[in-house]
Amino acid sequence: MTTVPLRWWRDVEIILPVLLLAVTTVYLAAAFQVSSPFSTDLVDASFMPKLVAGLMYVALLVVLRDALRRRRAAGGGDGVDDRASDLVAPLKVVALTLAYVAAFQPLGYALATVPYVFLLFQVFRFEDRSHLKRLAYAVVITAVFYGLFAGVFNIRLPLPEALS
């Protein structure tokens, strides 16, 4: 078996977060262009895109930091490049997010968000031993964000189309 030294630009653990940081920067720049018919001191139409971009920056920087630490601990990453399988989890997250976006309006916030969060936990192997705990966490997270949007920001979240 021949070993091929990994270069940082071929290392999925490094290049994927860097690319996502670039996409997030474009997304954030676009958020500043959003105009709003309503505005408060804190919340306007661009608030959520800016918040999402900020959270993405933090998450991606943590992922990148951890990848660099693992690479350094492994002696610079010499070895066979078998990291193509590392793309499976990010691709699952993208597919789940696309399905969530498609289901959000017809199913409404709660019926779309609970399974989305539950399945994200599945992808990241959170609470692997107990599906009941995973479901409880998904319900709690959905309720907390509902309270944040509906209660704090006064943003109406969609109900299932059958109830609208």
3-state DSSP assignment of residue 18: helix
| Pair 39, 100 in one domain | no
User: What total number of domains does the chain contain?
Assistant: 2
| Pair 75, 10 in one domain | yes
| Pair 9, 58 in one domain | yes
What's the rounded Cα separation, in Å, for the pair 104 and 84?
A: 31
pTM comes to: 0.57
Q: Which of 86-95, 104-113, 130-139, 142-151 has the lowest mean pLDDT?
A: 86-95
pLDDT tens-digit profile of 129-164? 889 999 999 999 889 888 877 787 677 777 887 776
With contact defined as beta carbons under 8 Å apart, do 112 and 139 qualify?
Answer: no
| Pair 120, 58 in one domain | no
With contact defined as beta carbons under 8 Å apart, do 48 and 54 qualify?
Answer: no
| Pair 64, 96 in one domain | no
Question: Pick from 56, 81, 106: which residue ends a domain?
Answer: 81
